[in-house]
A = this chain, B = another copy of it.
């Protein structure tokens, strides 16, 4: 074969897709530094050491949290804060403006590898990039697993309520936040709208993990929360896209808004419809495979492809993974798949939670620094709006007598990674002032950290225990509110 020049030459010229590759042929930037292959062992050292730190932190934090009767995920987040930029500086990311020398781990790697300053910067950035992508794969697999555990029919049942809860949970914090910032704190319109938008999106990852730990993922409340969080995420990303383009151009790009709304709708409905057709093909393909990984590899091809699609149409990758999980939940091989996804999730999901904690810089909370004080006041306001604006959404779930409305509202409170995306994009685009950026970060941290214990309390107070859980009466904190439930 190699003696035929026509065939053999394919290795030396790009014969594939010339029309597409032609218009990108100007891509070549000799000024950008490519990672020197000699530094590849140092990058690997950095990644391995990061993973060891992440796993140690997640296990220590999770186990302590469990023993203190908190959800393990809270311990994982706090352990992330301890090893991250706020305290030990073990796990640092270049996006935050940190340099290689700020990272204790890079100091260790550098001590071992004896890198030049340029090489150290390259290695620091490369390993940060790898850990960031692993964390993203972690949240993708988390959502895939949650999709697998969610019952599509049950989610359809609460779809209407979930939509109303999500819309109220987006509209109330957005309007109250924007108007409040403009009238009470004299913030200009565009930053105020941006900060208001940052209050909208619920962190589906954190809420779902806590619900799963409480055994409430399949309860009616759990299904409404997850359903609303999914819709919320879509609405939040639409709001972000609109606000970001508003911030850039000074006017709302209507065609982009329409594109986003249409693509999100088509994507989700398409995934659910496709599900009925794809289930059969998936099982028949899996049954024919004879090599190792015959279930798990096809399942991840589907999950990663859906995540890619979700990302490609400028929605979120996690949305695609969630849809993939929902679809595969309906197949006959679900049990085997569940079992095999578990260890993969055990290994990748903690990377997400620990890095969320590690990235959060609690230093911006320091009231001793004068420029933080304006941020603290604004932060206090944003936190009140963020909590109240979501807690009231429980009462928007109409036609559900006896439902735990407080639990639904509290379940919508954490902002987590989505809120951090808002803060990051706002800071990068220069729309947000330092105090406003700090205030958003504080709001995200507190809602994220406070929601799990309060969600636990709210479910503990439940007047209507889920079918598969014993009613637990504990915690007098929210008793007054809980008694107002029908």
User: Which A residues are closer than 8 A to B by beta carbons?
Assistant: 2-3, 5, 8-12, 14, 16-17, 20-21, 24-29, 31-38, 40-41, 43-45, 47-49, 51-52, 55-56, 58-59, 62-63, 66-67, 72, 85-89, 94-95, 99-102, 104, 106-108, 110-112, 117-118, 120-122, 125-126, 129-130, 132-133, 136-137, 140, 289-293, 296-298, 300-301, 304-305, 307-308, 311-312, 314, 317, 340-344, 346-347, 350, 361-369, 424-425, 428
Contact B47 A121 (CB under 8 A): no
Q: What are 10 A-B contacts with C-beta separation under 8 Å? A: A2-B362, A2-B365, A9-B363, A11-B362, A11-B366, A56-B301, A58-B297, A59-B297, A297-B347, A343-B343
A45 and chain B: residue at smallest CB distance: B311
Q: How far is the CB of A286 from chain B (nearest CB, A)?
A: 11
- Of A28, A129, A367, chain B has the most CB atoms within 10 Å of the CB of A129
- Of A37, A106, A133, chain B has the most CB atoms within 10 Å of the CB of A133
Contact B48 A304 (CB under 8 A): yes
Identical chains in the assembly: 2
Residues from chain B with Cβ under 8 Å of A72 in the complex: 291-292
A365 and chain B: residue at smallest CB distance: B2
A33-B33 in contact given A48-B311, A55-B300, A363-B8 (Cβ < 8 Å): yes
The complex places the Cα of A307 from the Cα of B38 at a distance, in Å, of 18
Contact B424 A301 (CB under 8 A): no
The complex places the Cα of A111 from the Cα of B308 at a distance, in Å, of 14
Contact of A26 among B5, B117, B129, B314 (CB under 8 A): B117
Contact B121 A305 (CB under 8 A): no
Residues from chain B with Cβ under 8 Å of A34 in the complex: 94-95, 125
Q: How far is the CB of A213 from chain B (nearest CB, A)?
A: 9
A360 and chain B: residue at smallest CB distance: B11
A10-B86 in contact given A45-B308, A59-B291, A63-B290 (Cβ < 8 Å): yes
Contact B112 A312 (CB under 8 A): yes
Contact A293 B350 (CB under 8 A): yes
Contact B12 A366 (CB under 8 A): yes
The complex places the Cα of A47 from the Cα of B12 at a distance, in Å, of 24
Q: How far is the CB of A357 from chain B (nearest CB, A)?
A: 13
Contact B104 A21 (CB under 8 A): yes
Q: How far is the CB of A234 from chain B (nearest CB, A)?
A: 16
Residues from chain B with Cβ under 8 Å of A133 in the complex: 43-44, 47, 130
Contact B317 A3 (CB under 8 A): no
